[in-house]
Amino acid sequence: MTNDDIRNQFPILGTEVYGKPLVYLDNAATTQKPAAVIEALSRYYLTLNSNIHRGAHHLATEATEAYEQVRRKVQQYVNARSPKEIVFTRGTTESINLVASTFAERYLSEGDEVIISGMEHHSNIVPWQLACHKKNVKIRVIPFSDSGELDLDAYRSLFNERTRLVAVCHVSNTLGTVNPIALMAREAHAHGAMIMVDGAQAVAHTAVDVQQLGCDFYCFSGHKMYAPMGVGVMYGREEVLDELPPYQGGGEMIKTVTFDHTTYNELPFKFEAGTPSVGDVLGLGAALDFIQSTGLDRIATIESQLLAYATEQLRTIDGVQIYGTATNKTGVLSFNVGSAHPYDVGTLLDKLGVAIRTGHHCTQPVMDRYGIPGTVRASFAAYNTMAEIDTFIAALRRIAPMLA
């Protein structure tokens, strides 16, 4: 496996920490950015900066065209039917809040039910709690097995005539499990419910085709797919988005305003109130170019090789317990070393140059499910190498006896 050509595109990977080469294995939190993305950002501010959509001047027209071109790129990337179905947000969290709030207003009433899963990130739990609480709507939770797979029989049994929506992650950020979204979507639709997918941990690792998945909404963040922070996407089926009320009010999302009455803009602008983060959107466009020129297949192959090797090596260390062993997994490896606190493991790894994440990973219910306070999580991207896994494992071997 050689990926020097990928690695060389990421300037930050040459960094040293505590005099050691950085081994960055915190990609589920955020990926590093290739030079092309950083350049797209600075090019925007150096040559194109202006507010979009409203301007009659050259820069505004050019910036608007560049921004709308990224929308079309995103549309193609997830195979949406129309660019009208692609709404730019600040990230997955804002996308899910948008869906929860507007869906609740339009479609939920007292006594209705929403299904989520037990492995959701807090950002796919709390927005539903906020929205459902206001309407007296019940949230039901799909349990998962010890290996981290959703119990699909339990899922089927949760539906009833009051089920309105399923909100589930495509890939779990803590367990790495890839959930069977197409099957879950068919089940939801057969019961007259819609489905919203949290794709934060999927879009950079596996091909996403929203039509093939059959989802009504699909939410993700740019910064977990090599793009800058500050931009995300909410995909929604046009027929559904047309039915939803606006999320935020302000400039851009209106057609006409008087003190008596306001009419709203067409899709997708109805959901993009105020000045968007234009530079970050252009950075997202460059990130999509990076992914496409590298090849998602190649990225997925590299990451699955890294996962297989790291898992095998980790199992040779005494006292290591891995959480999340689903058959269909992406490059996320959660574990604990004996009874050592994850934070202690993380701090010691850091001193050896290895960046991983520790804690509940914004999935406290997952920790409760296993009866643990947290895990250590290593997560991989296309630029990681087998040699980095060796460094990570050697570092763990060195610190494990200190923590025993």
Q: What angle, rounded to 10 degrees, do the helices at 342-351 and 386-403 form? A: 120
When asked if residue 379 is in the footprint of ligand PLP (CB under 6 A), the reply is: no
What ranges in 88-125 are assigned the alpha helix state H?
A: 92-107
> In angstroms, what is the minimal distance from the CB of 226 to ligand PLP?
13
Burial class, 122, CB count within 10 angstroms (exposed 0-12 / middle 13-18 / buried 19+): middle
Cβ atoms of 314 and 80 closer than 8 Å: no
Which lies closer to ligand PLP via its Cβ, residue 86 or residue 395? Answer: 86
Give me the catalytic one of 132, 215, 219, 362. Answer: 362
Separation of alpha carbons 255 and 269, rounded Å: 10
Which span sits near ligand PLP by CB under 6 A: 10-18, 101-109, 198-206, 373-381? 198-206
Which span sits near ligand PLP by CB under 6 A: 51-59, 87-95, 149-157, 278-286? 87-95
Coil, strand, or helix at residue 193?
coil
When asked if residue 89 is in the footprint of ligand PLP (CB under 6 A), the reply is: no
Bond prior to 268 in cis (omega within 30° of 0)? yes
Q: What is the distance, to the nearest Å, from the Cα of residue 134 to the centroid of all Cα atoms in its chain?
A: 26
Would strands 332-337 and 320-323 be described as parallel, antiparallel, or unpaired? antiparallel
Chosen residue from 33, 53, 84, 121 binding ligand PLP by CB under 6 A: 121
Q: Verify whether residue 132 is a known catalytic residue.
A: no
> In angstroms, what is the minimal distance from the CB of 292 to ligand PLP?
21
Which lies closer to ligand PLP via its Cβ, residue 173 or residue 375? Answer: 173
When asked if residue 179 is in the footprint of ligand PLP (CB under 6 A), the reply is: no
What ranges in 108-176 are assigned the alpha helix state H?
A: 126-135, 152-158
When asked if residue 198 is in the footprint of ligand PLP (CB under 6 A), the reply is: yes
Chosen residue from 3, 201, 277, 330 binding ligand PLP by CB under 6 A: 201
What ranges in 295-363 are assigned the alpha helix state H?
A: 296-314, 342-351
> In angstroms, what is the minimal distance from the CB of 234 to ligand PLP?
11
Separation of alpha carbons 176 and 308, rounded Å: 13
When asked if residue 177 is in the footprint of ligand PLP (CB under 6 A), the reply is: no
When asked if residue 331 is in the footprint of ligand PLP (CB under 6 A), the reply is: no
When asked if residue 375 is in the footprint of ligand PLP (CB under 6 A), the reply is: no
Q: Which residues does the annotation mark as catalytic? A: 362
* Residues binding ligand PLP (CB under 6 A): 91-93, 121, 123-124, 169, 173, 198, 200-201, 221
